[in-house]
Amino acid sequence: MDATTRIERALAASIAWAGGLDCPPLLAKAVRHAVFPKGSRVRPRLCLAVASACGASNPAIVDGAAVAIELLHCASLVHDDLPCFDDAQTRRGRPSVHAAFGEPLAVLAGDALIVLAFETVARTAASAPAAMAGLLLTVGRAGGMPYGIAAGQAWECEPAVDLAHYHRAKTGALFIAAAAAGAIAAGADADPWRDFGDRLGQAYQVADDIRDAAGSPEDIGKPIHQDAVHGRPSAVTRLGVFGAVSWLEQLVAEAAAAIPACHGAGDLRCLIASEAKRLLPKELSLRAA
């Protein structure tokens, strides 16, 4: 089974477990709307790729870790789109959750997704207690405070922003967690993988800045020029489009160099090179990886 199919199935199983007959029907629909149809799934694919590179033998634990990361990501998108933040009416080319279901259900869908992320780890890793504790702390660190996505978003509310903290928490945290969780789910040491995840997270943030500045709404499935509208820090504002592309290339090369010795290192290097190409607007080419 390819990684994409595997992730979609694992996400569907997790949501079916929580959103069954006893669930308020609109909440179940809002949660499904937040998670399907698929986004890029770049974080859970990273988790699976690292687990595979580390020789993982228990697919249920790996899937649970990947699902937890993606559910946290989906939760953050739902809450980021709320009127009090970006007030985005569309996401992935369709109405955002609050546009489709109203603000109350969007708040609750985000909350329920955060809870479900942890429940999924607790259910799928029950047979491997050491991995379970490590995965929970890794997922928690990526989601909450002081270093996770809630903290990342909260830096936008501060009068003075520490840019490094901001980016690492808002975007980097889930990439670091995805790489670390893949290693933990495979029974490997997570520490050498965090630097790899960190570079990839930075690369993804730069690619996102480039798409916001130089992509089209059809291409990226959401409104463009949001960084300028909301006065957010952006690699394009700082370096220009081509400077940003060049920085992206460097970060991808650094990520490739940061891959620890493991039996699947070669495959992983190929994967991140092709991912990096996919993330850029079609008109911009990427030379290296």
Chain residues that interact with a second copy, rule: CB under 8 A: 18-28, 31, 75, 79, 82, 84-85, 101-105, 107-108, 110-112, 114-116, 118-119, 121-123, 126, 129-130, 132-133, 136-137, 140-141, 143-148, 150-151, 153-158, 165
Say if CB 212 and CB 224 are below 8 A apart: yes
Smallest separation (angstroms) from a second copy to the CB of 47? 18
Smallest separation (angstroms) from a second copy to the CB of 35? 13
Q: Token pair of 132, please?
A: 């379970």
Smallest separation (angstroms) from a second copy to the CB of 179? 19
Smallest separation (angstroms) from a second copy to the CB of 282? 34
Q: Which amino acid is at 152?
A: G
Smallest separation (angstroms) from a second copy to the CB of 158? 5
Of 133 and 288, nearer to a second copy (C-beta) is 133
Q: Is residue 91 classed as helix, strand or coil in its secondary structure?
A: strand
249: burial class by Cβ within 10 Å (0-12, 13-18, 19+)?
A: middle
Smallest separation (angstroms) from a second copy to the CB of 70? 16
Of 174 and 271, nearer to a second copy (C-beta) is 174
Q: Rounded to an integer, what is the distance from CA 123 to the centroid of its chain?
A: 21
Of 119 and 249, nearer to a second copy (C-beta) is 119
Q: Which residue has the tokens 């190929």?
A: 270
Of 130 and 229, nearer to a second copy (C-beta) is 130
Alpha helices in the chain (DSSP H): 3-18, 25-35, 42-53, 59-80, 97-101, 103-124, 129-143, 149-155, 163-167, 173-185, 191-214, 217-220, 226-229, 235-257, 265-279
Of 65 and 121, nearer to a second copy (C-beta) is 121
Of 103 and 283, nearer to a second copy (C-beta) is 103
Angle at 202 between CA 56 and CA 114, to 5 degrees: 60
